[in-house]
Structure 1
Amino acid sequence: MPSLMVFAGADASTPVLSGVVTAAMLNGVFNEIVGLLPVIVPVSVGFIAIRKGLGFLFSSLRAA
C-alpha cells in the first residue's frame, strides 16, 4: 500500500513541527505563562476560599 501524503508538499521523513516552532516562540509562551501566574494564583485561592466559606455557611444553616 503506498504511503498517503496528507499535506501537499510535506516530506514524511522530516518533522513539520520542528521546522515551524522556534525557541523564540516557546520563550514568548513561557514568559506569558509566568506573567499570568501572579493573577491566576490569588484568583484561584480566592475562589476556593469563597467556595469553602459558602459550603460552611450553607451546612451551618441546614443544621440550624
Structure 2
Amino acid sequence: MDYQGVLGRFTYDDGTDILNRVSSVEAGDYRENRDIINEIVLWKMNRRPQVTEELIDAIFSLKEIKTPLQVLV
C-alpha cells in the first residue's frame, strides 16, 4: 500500500486560526470564549461540553497561577 499517497490526501490544521481567536478575545466575551472552547473540544473529542460563564471566568483566572500548588490554596 502507498502510505505516502494516502497521507498526502489529508490536510493538517496547524491551529493558527484558533490561536489568533484566542489571542484577540477578551475575558468577558463569553459567547466567543464558549465558541472557542467548543471548537477545541470538538476537534479533540468530537463532543460538545457544557461551558458556563463561571467556567470561562475560572479559565481566565488560571493566568494568575504561577505554580501547581497555588491551585490548592
Q: Same fold (TM over 0.5)?
A: no
Answer 1 or 2: higher relative contact order, Cα 8 Å, separation at least 6: 2
Bigger fraction of residues in helix? 1
Q: TM-score, normalised by structure 2?
A: 0.26
Q: TM-score, normalised by structure 1?
A: 0.28
